[in-house]
Every structure is written in structure tokens, then in C-alpha cells.
A and B are shown apart, each in its own frame.
Chain A
Amino acid sequence: GAGVSQSPSNKVTEKGKDVELRCDPISGHTALYWYRQSLGQGLEFLIYFQGNSAPDKSGLPSDRFSAERTGGSVSTLTIQRTQQEDSAVYLCASSLVVLAGGYNEQFFGPGTRLTVL
């Protein structure tokens, strides 16, 4: 079946502009995550959605970053007034259910490479 998809695959923008990154999770997955991967680094957690619960926004680096998830499916990560340090690959992941004490394999999308000039 279809995996996690993200669009665009590449985005080049000028400093100060706003950008929107889209994530389509695997159908039926209730949990959705956004991560950021800077060049040569590991993944950094940004935000997490689970069903109708309030999202965990603890990883958002500043108030320029926001995300929403409409209808429990598609999610959009918005970065306002982009800065050069926002340049990174933004990865989205989804998982089927959240099992207390168990593990929930997170399936990752291909990412969006954002370059801020």
C-alpha cells in the first residue's frame, strides 16, 4: 500500500518568506510526527499529533513554526519568516496506534528538503 508522502520534495525560498510543507500519512494511522534533520545530524523532534488529542508541540524551535492536522489525516507544517538556519530536511512519520508500554513503528516519508537563501 501507499506509504507516507510529503510535498514538495524540494523547496528553495528566500529569507523572510513563509513556507508550507505537507504530509499525507498512511491511511488509518492515528499518530503523526514531524522531525527536522539538519545536514549531518540526527533527527530532531518537532511536533506530534495523536487522534483528537492536543498536539505535543514541545519540539518546535520558535513561534515561527506551527503545524496543523486537518480531519485527522493530512498535516501541514508552516514556517513563517524563514531564516537560513531553518534549512534542513523536514521528515514526517506516522504510526498506527499508540500502545502504552509497547512500540509503535514510525513509518517515515521521503522528506522535504528546505533551502533558505
Chain B
Amino acid sequence: AQKITQTQPGMFVQEKEAVTLDCTYDTSDPSYGLFWYKQPSSGEMIFLIYQGSYDQQNATEGRYSLNFQKARKSANLVISASQLGDSAMYFCAMREGQKAEKLTFGTGTRLTIIP
């Protein structure tokens, strides 16, 4: 089974609208962390936001927030007031366990912001 599933290969959103990028995960470890990264066309990976499995509140970082629904095993990224510069690939990733350091990535969602 896929550890990280991103079901939206591509999305088109009007500038200034909010957008939700879906991510579901699969793990039996009670301790895990969920990450979102942005990859513009230039190729670099940019860390956006992190949610720990024991965190009580949804993570927020500026225009980014993570809609963490633990029972559903989903960790959707919400971008408010989208901007043209938000056009990029977005990857959801998971770290499992207390000491495991490697990240398991989803296949990504290509977001295109329309002016």
C-alpha cells in the first residue's frame, strides 16, 4: 500500500482564491510527522509546513495551514489567497517513528494559479 497518497495530479486555481491540496497517509506507528514541500520549476525543494502526530492544533505558517484529520489519516494543505508565485509542484511527505529520519514522499500535485 502507498504510504502517502496525493490523488490530484494537477489543479488549476484562480488567483486570490484558496486552494486545498489533498494528502492521505498510511502508518501503524503512533509517532509520525507530516511535511509539505513546494518544488517550483527551478527544481529546489522548499519546506512549507510540519504537523506532528501528537500536535493538538493544526499547523499554520503564514498563508499555509494544514488540515490534520488524524482519524481519517489525512493532512491536507490549505493555501489562502493564492498568488501566481504559488504555481509549483507540491509534495506531501511523512516521517515514521521516533527516530526514523527518512521521508516518504507522495507523487505530488502540480498547482497552476491562473491570473
What residues of chain A have their CB less than 8 Å away from a CB belonging to chain B? 31, 33, 35, 41-45, 48, 50, 56, 58-59, 89, 91, 93, 95, 98, 100-111
Q: Count A/B pairs, Cβ under 8 Å.
A: 65
User: C-beta contact mask, B43-59 vs A, less than 8 Å → 1, else 0?
Assistant: 11101001010100000
Would you give the shortest CB distance from A95 to chain B, in whole angstroms?
A: 8
Q: Are A105 and B50 in contact (CB under 8 A)?
A: yes
Q: Which of B1-59 contact A (CB under 8 A)?
A: 4, 31, 33, 35, 37, 42-45, 47, 50, 52, 54
Question: Once the chains are docked, how many angstroms separate the CA of A89 from the CA of B98?
Answer: 29
Question: Once the chains are docked, how many angstroms separate the CA of A89 from the CA of B106?
Answer: 16
Within 8 Å by CB of A43, from B91, B95, B98, B101, lies B91
Q: Are B35 and A103 in contact (CB under 8 A)?
A: yes
Within 8 Å by CB of A108, from B45, B102, B108, lies B45
Known: A91-B45, A108-B45. A103 touches B101 (CB 8 A): no
